[in-house]
Amino acid sequence: MPLLISDLSGMHQWGEKFGGQLRAGDLVVLTGPLGAGKTALVQGIGKALGMLDITSPTFVISRVHHAAIPLVHVDAYRLLDNPMALFDDLDLDTLLDTSIVCIEWGSEVVQRLSHDYLELALEYGVEETERTITATAHGQRWSQFQL
């Protein structure tokens, strides 16, 4: 059952709560249309880790935010035409064990990193400001996860 979020501020708050449950080695894939709140969710995760300067990596594709547990934030949108060509160049597999990795638009490339990941599908709700989150667990780490 999808989780209903009232607005982008709520998405940020939920991301902070969710981020408090994450640990090094976790891989989260965010899907959904433009403006659905993917970056707001990652900003909340970053806040839970003590980071306040999370911005969208749309133009740089990947950002590493350093903290006790680093947060790697990837926006694979610009890789969709040829996802494998540049994705491997990001060298994310070397960061995965020691970081939390969040990949926006990553459903095409995630299995190149791991078969153990959580997919969060963000969609627009009935009201203009509402969003829904639906989680799909892949692998042992996420088998008991509930929204």
Give me the CATH number covering residue 60. 3.40.50.300
Please give the Cα distance from 106 to 29 (Å, whole number). Answer: 6
In a domain, 92, yes or no: yes
The closest alpha carbon to 42, from 23, 56, 59, belongs to 56
Domain with 68 in it = 26-81+88-141
Q: What is the pLDDT of residue 81?
A: 65
Question: The pTM is what?
Answer: 0.91
Please give the Cα distance from 47 to 70 (Å, whole number). Answer: 12
Residues in the chain where the model's pLDDT stays below 70: 58-60, 79-88
In a domain, 100, yes or no: yes
Q: Are the CB atoms for 44 and 13 separated by under 8 Å? A: yes
The closest alpha carbon to 5, from 121, 101, 143, belongs to 121
In a domain, 102, yes or no: yes
The closest alpha carbon to 26, from 80, 102, 79, 85, belongs to 102
Residue 42 phi, psi dihedral angles, 5° rounding? -65, -35
Question: What count of residues does the chain have?
Answer: 147
Number of domains in the chain: 1
The closest alpha carbon to 100, from 145, 53, 51, belongs to 51
In a domain, 20, yes or no: no
Q: What is the pLDDT of residue 10?
A: 96
In a domain, 70, yes or no: yes
Q: Give the contacts of 23 (CB within 8 A, at least 6 positions apart).
A: 69, 100
Q: What is the pLDDT of residue 52?
A: 85
Could you read off the pLDDT of 39-68 as tens digits, one per residue? Answer: 999 999 999 999 988 887 766 678 888 989
Q: What is the pLDDT of residue 82?
A: 63
